[in-house]
Amino acid sequence: MIRIPYLIISLASALLAASARAEPPVDAARARQIATQHACFGCHAVDKKLVGPAWRDVAARYAGQPGAAATLVAHIQNGSSGTWGAVPMPPNAISPGDAQAVVQWILAGTRTE
């Protein structure tokens, strides 16, 4: 038999542990600025396919996947092909930190706030 106070303490501990592992807040303005500076909007849009996939589609595909951020940073820096069809994504001269900021924004659903 599970005692109620023990159950409440266990649930509270689990919630606190999960919040401690949460991603840092996304700086949407900075991420958009980086994406603009590196001409990402020439091939991508937030909510519709252009040359490359919509970023909301990217977020949906990679949601909950371990290592998704690292994979996407590598795609941005090194280029990729075959992931979203026949058109390859060329490599981009972007710092790892800037690529990570853009990826966090994409995976967070490209929020604007």
| 43 is annotated as contributing to ligand binding | no
- Give the pair of three-digit tokens for residue 48: 């519709």
Question: Could you tell me which residues are annotated as the binding site?
Answer: 40, 44, 89
Question: Could you tell me which residues are annotated as the binding site for heme c?
Answer: 40, 44, 89
